[in-house]
Amino acid sequence: MMTKRQLGKLCAGIGLLAALVILALDVLFPGREGGFGPGQITALLVSIALFLLGMSLLPLGDDPA
Amino acid sequence: MLFSLATLLLLSQLLVLAGYAANLLAFPFDYDQGEGYELEAVRYLSQFQLPYQDVDRFPYYGSHYPPLFHIVLVPFHWAFGPAYWYGRALSLACVLLTALAIAYAVGKESGHRSIATLAGLAFLASNTVYHQAPLFRHHTLMVLLETLAVVLLATAPGDLRKVPTRRLLWCSTLVIAAGFAKPLAIFTALAISAYLILRAPQRAWRWILGSALAGAAIFVGFLWLSEGEWWRQIIIANANSPSILHGWRLARLWLRVHGWLIAPALLLVGFEWYFSRISLYSLWFVCTAFFSAISSGGWGAGDNYYMTAIAATCILSGIFAARILQQQWRFPQNAYGRLIHRLAPLARSLRQPLFLLPAVLYLGYALAVLHHPTDTPGFRELAQLLGHEANVLPERPFYDGARTSLGHYPPGYSNIGHFTTEEDVRAGWLIVDWLRQTAGPVISEDAGFAIRAEKSVITHAPFLWNLAERDHFDSSALIAQLAAREFSAIVLRAPFFPADVEAAIFAHYEEVAEIPLNGFRYRILEPRVS
């Protein structure tokens, strides 16, 4: 059974990783067309939201998720 | 009083749905674009052939949907021949059963029968559900199977780690079946997987692996049986790049029309996130709403992609409303709960107004989704009372609350819902008679006319367009047949053919008649004489 803290860490980790990958896309693939477009911005916002939601679960400790 | 009004309005929407369904069950032609192609897929299967034919060769027909919906209809095809009514009746039955499953879920969770009934009625009153309910299409079967799988697992008593394996197997079977009705069920599979990981991680991996293997085995079976066409037709043809703008507009429409129930659903999700255990319904709502928003903006997609999220919305909002009426909101003494407890005096003073909230939510929702004829006794008076004017297709007396007063709607929103008329039926038979009088094969963009004229169904226009867009359709044989004027007539509606095919059609065929039907102009083309 997963706890709120474990779930929080998981969500925050996924959100952070996704945000870094999205930001790094243009560095990793400099030839990509379109630049930092609306799709990337939306995905970045979702990733940040997931990170924050995950972080907000950390104070809840071992409560069951 | 407010509850009675909301119930009355939602019941009136059920009445409109009954009228719409009766109207379409009797309508012998394609109502929504593409229904005839699904009927043709049933015919293939009824003759023990897969509809996933080599589309590069005559008759250039294929299907971009998995076959479960078609397979269920095969006995009806054997018994009654090619007809639309049984596919539309099955679709309607799926929607009604989904509403019952929603009511059961809310009733089981809350024990509040009135709210459970309202939750089921709210699902049926949704404009999106209304549009899809009586169509010869797959989507409703998928939604029913998804809902049954979720409700079956969510209502499992006790600790999920000790739930009988049989229940998990049923859940798995329903989700896989939903996926073979329409692949969008993958989002529900994701929600169930996440739920199992949260509650019973060890069983979760076994369930995920087992379900994935079973689904993959069926997939490979179809791949083998169709000699590879399954991949091209189910995967490649459906790989549309979603338009963010279209997706955003549809998401806004979904929020605007269903917002009265989305808001309480979101509040319950938030409550479970911080103060309680996260339910399967919450995960289902988040997964399906999120992925619907992403995928609904693609070509060929649309507001119907939200139907599963609407089912989840109705369940969550029903539970939310029931908890208010039963005073069941309890905040634990955790880090955030202590903050909430400080607001207890305020909450006590708001108790009376809060009791009104469920009724206000359902009444607001009922008014937002309202759709009805504007010329039928009873609804005519309602339209006058609320100031509703017909706002659907030209000359159709029907009001749809999801559209603007001028009838505008975002791309992807289904331009249907109005009733067909005697003139539509007469016009349909006129086209059929025209095709019957021709000697050779015909192409009809709405396959129903060819089927009624007892001609072979040749081509599947939007499907060929999809494949051509991905460079997976070799149009040379079809264009050669068009150039040789081998088809005695072509019936066009949109048209949705690939550009080179469309160019060949207009190069070698000329328009000889135009017949209005169901708000569209059907053009009949015959070979040019020169």
CB contact under 8 A, A60 and B335: yes
Which structural domain range is residue B164 located in? 84-340
Report how many domains make up chain A: 1
Nearest chain A residue to B161, by CA: A1
Q: What percent of chain B has a predicted confidence (pLDDT) above 70?
A: 100
In terms of domains, do B52 and B96 share one? no
Between helix B2-25 and helix B85-110 the angle, nearest 10°, is 160
* Nearest CB to A60 within list B198, B200, B334: B334
**If pLDDT is split at 50, 70 and 90, which confidence band does B321 have?**
very high
Domain boundary among B340, B356, B385: B340
Nearest chain B residue to A64, by CA: B277
Show the 3-state SS of B127-144: HHHHHHCCCCCCHHHHHH
> What is the reported pLDDT for A31?
66
| Residue A58 forms contact with B (CB below 8 Å) | no
Which structural domain range is residue A46 located in? 4-60
Residues of B in contact with A18 (CB under 8 A): none
> What is the reported pLDDT for B423?
95
Residue B239 has pLDDT above 70, yes or no: yes
User: How close, in Å, is residue B251 to chain A by CA atoms?
Assistant: 13
| Residue B270 forms contact with A (CB below 8 Å) | no
In terms of domains, do B332 and B461 share one? no
Q: Does residue A37 lie within any of the structural domains?
A: yes
User: How close, in Å, is residue A49 to chain B by CA atoms?
Assistant: 13
What's the CA gap between B3 and B250, in Å, rounded? 29
| Residue A48 forms contact with B (CB below 8 Å) | no
Residues of A in contact with B278 (CB under 8 A): 7, 65
Residues of A in contact with B332 (CB under 8 A): 63
CB contact under 8 A, A7 and B198: yes
Beta carbons within 8 Å of B435's beta carbon, 6+ residues apart: B442, B444, B449, B450, B453, B455, B489, B491
* Nearest CB to A59 within list B161, B278, B335: B335
In terms of domains, do B72 and B124 share one? no
Give the mean pLDDT of B54-59. Answer: 94
Residue B281 has pLDDT above 90, yes or no: yes
First to last CA, chain A: 8
Place of tokens 């159709």: B396
| Residue B335 forms contact with A (CB below 8 Å) | yes
In terms of domains, do B336 and B427 share one? no
| Residue A63 forms contact with B (CB below 8 Å) | yes
User: How close, in Å, is residue A30 to chain B by CA atoms?
Assistant: 22
**If pLDDT is split at 50, 70 and 90, which confidence band does B340 have?**
confident
Residue B524: beta bridge partners?
B491, B513
Residues of A in contact with B201 (CB under 8 A): 1-2
**If pLDDT is split at 50, 70 and 90, which confidence band does B456 have?**
very high
CB contact under 8 A, A59 and B336: yes
In terms of domains, do B62 and B102 share one? no
Structure tokens at B470: 């991905």
In terms of domains, do B60 and B152 share one? no
> What is the reported pLDDT for B173?
97
User: How close, in Å, is residue A6 to chain B by CA atoms?
Assistant: 10
Beta carbons within 8 Å of B319's beta carbon, 6+ residues apart: B106, B109, B110, B268, B281
> What is the reported pLDDT for B339?
86
Give the mean pLDDT of B25-54. Answer: 95
Residues of A in contact with B200 (CB under 8 A): 1
Beta carbons within 8 Å of B528's beta carbon, 6+ residues apart: B485, B508, B509, B510
Q: Does residue B416 lie within any of the structural domains?
A: no
pLDDT tens digits for range A7-65? 999 999 999 999 999 988 877 777 666 667 788 888 999 999 999 999 999 999 999 99
In terms of domains, do B110 and B67 share one? no
For testing contact with chain B, the best of A3, A4, A52 (most B CBs within 10 A): A4
What's the CA gap between B516 and B313, in Å, rounded? 39
Q: Does residue A65 lie within any of the structural domains?
A: no
Nearest chain A residue to B277, by CA: A65
> What is the reported pLDDT for A34?
62
User: How close, in Å, is residue B200 to chain A by CA atoms?
Assistant: 6
Q: Does residue B399 lie within any of the structural domains?
A: no
| Residue B194 forms contact with A (CB below 8 Å) | no
What percentage of chain B's residues is helix, strand, coil (to nearest 5)?
Answer: 65, 5, 30
Nearest chain B residue to A1, by CA: B199
In terms of domains, do B113 and B51 share one? no
In terms of domains, do B76 and B91 share one? no
> What is the reported pLDDT for B350?
81
Q: What percent of chain B has a predicted confidence (pLDDT) above 90?
A: 82
Q: Does residue B465 lie within any of the structural domains?
A: yes
> What is the reported pLDDT for B244?
85
Nearest chain B residue to A40, by CA: B244
User: How close, in Å, is residue A61 to chain B by CA atoms?
Assistant: 9
Place of tokens 């988040």: B286
Nearest chain B residue to A54, by CA: B273
Residues of B in contact with A60 (CB under 8 A): 274, 334-336
Report how many domains make up chain B: 2
From the list B271, B288, B16, B48, the residue with the least C-alpha distance to B134 is B16
Three-state DSSP at B491 gives strand
> Other C-beta atoms within 10 Å of B506: how many?
15
In terms of domains, do B56 and B157 share one? no
In terms of domains, do B251 and B157 share one? yes
* Nearest CB to B277 within list A39, A59, A65: A65
pLDDT tens digits for range B475-519? 999 999 999 999 999 999 988 899 999 999 999 999 999 999 998
Residue B419 has pLDDT above 80, yes or no: yes
Q: Strand B489-492 and strand B520-527: pairing?
A: antiparallel
What DSSP letter does each residue of A1-65 carry, written as one string?
--BHHHHHHHHHHHHHHHHHHHHHHHHH-TT-TT-S-HHHHHHHHHHHHHHHHHHHHGGGTTSB-
Structure tokens at B17: 């749905």
Domain boundary among B315, B340, B365: B340
In terms of domains, do B75 and B98 share one? no
| Residue A36 forms contact with B (CB below 8 Å) | no
